[in-house]
Amino acid sequence: MSKRSEPARAFYKENTGREKELKELLKSLQTGQNVAIIAPPRFGKTALITQALQQFKGKPISTAYIDLLSNSTTELLSNSLIKETLKNHKLHKEYISARKDLGSFYTNKGLQTIAAAFPFITRLDDHSLDTWELLSKCLDFPHVLSSSLNQKLICAYDNYGNGLHLESGGRLAKLVSSKIGQHTSTTHLLAGRNESAFLSLKAIHLIRMGFIESQFLIDSLDKKFTRLKIKMPRKYTNALVYMTKGHPYYTKCAFEQIILEHSLNGTIPSPKELKNLLMAAEKGYIEKVWEDLLHNKEYLHTMLALSQGSKNIYQRLQSMKINVARAQKNLELMGYLMKKESGGYAIADPLLEYWLRKNR
């Protein structure tokens, strides 16, 4: 890691502006209350889960972090469930080695005991077994092992219910949600982009993560710049936060760009240059979203109209014969829109919003 990026890293280690959400989350987890974190992409769900789970390190509570997006097949998910569970017993590295050399399951003492009680963990590569039955056992594994050791467990499922189209007819999602319902003594922490995924789960506390409060971010950025001995007019930080709207990821990117420019050239990009730098960095992502939108007239026109504000959106789109309510709901499921507290929807990604306004 270069010296240059250290200050930026230090800034973002703190999960700036999410203290309230973290407190609320920890309170639920400590009392055994199941929680769902809901936010559009890149609002900091994973960062918040990671921070929350870290607080339980060294305490007599087991934790398991399962990413349903990167483990989207039965095989990957089964492996991840076992590995994450065994991390609590510092046996995950041994487990990874044992998958390559099955004999190790019986030569390592700790692994041997667990493999004797849960023999299926040795059979992930056995193609004669039904992968769904195996997954069902693996989904029970964190819960059953911790219960048998009289230990509390917090099990986090990240990227829960993301996207409109769930794989294999939603079978994986259904299985995971039924296990969550059965494992009543385990505390579940779920994170996803849309609320509807959590509606079938009973007695779950919802935490919605929105944009970070602007004034808080401005003060916090000013302090960071002062600490880094970068002279920054208040007007500039105001303009920065106005541009990112308090979007955590873009604020982080903007900060990093400033540090980079400052250390390379001793200059600060103007707010306009900063926006262009961010746009250039995000070009690939934004163009991909744009391509997605071009495939669906309803989505495209709804997004374009919302980039001009949500007021009178139904009237403004009336002549196009668009089902605006349906389009907004689906765009929320896709992570492009978020519900506003005052009602209606807003585009969740400020750079995408600028792009849409420009390309209208």
Ligand X SMILES: Nc1ncnc2c1ncn2[C@@H]1O[C@H](COP(=O)(O)OP(=O)(O)OP(=O)(O)O)[C@@H](O)[C@H]1O
Measured from the CB atom, is 8 or 114 closer to ligand X?
8
Q: DSSP letter string over 113-132?
A: HHHHH-GGGG-TT-TTS-HH
* Shortest CB 68 distance to Mg ion, Å: 10
* Shortest CB 209 distance to ligand X, Å: 7
* Shortest CB 42 distance to Mg ion, Å: 8
* 343, burial (CB in 10 Å: exposed 0-12, middle 13-18, buried 19+): exposed
- Check: CB of residue 271 under 8 Å from CB of residue 261: no
Q: Which amino acid is at 39?
A: A
- Check: CB of residue 99 under 8 Å from CB of residue 155: no
* Shortest CB 313 distance to ligand X, Å: 25
Measured from the CB atom, is 44 or 91 closer to ligand X?
44
How many residues bind Mg ion, per CB under 5 A?
2
Chosen from ligand X, Mg ion, none, partner binding at 334 (C-beta under 5 to 8 Å by type): none
* Shortest CB 208 distance to Mg ion, Å: 15
Distances (CA, A) of 105 to 72, 81, 212: 26, 17, 47
Measured from the CB atom, is 42 or 83 closer to ligand X?
42
Residue number closest to Mg ion, CB atom? 46
Neighbours of 360 (CB within 10 A): 9
> What distance lies between CA 72 and its chain's CA centroid?
15
**Footprint of ligand X on this chain (CB under 6 A)?**
12, 15-18, 39, 41-47, 193, 248-249, 252
Taking the C-alpha atoms of residue 208 and residue 316, their distance in angstroms, rounded to an integer, is 29
Q: Work out whether 15 is an interface residue with Mg ion (CB under 5 A).
A: no
Three-class SS state of 337:
strand
* Shortest CB 6 distance to ligand X, Å: 15
Measured from the CB atom, is 248 or 269 closer to ligand X?
248
x/- track of binding to Mg ion for residues 39-58 (CB under 5 A): ------xx------------
Give the footprint of Mg ion on this chain (CB under 5 A): 45-46
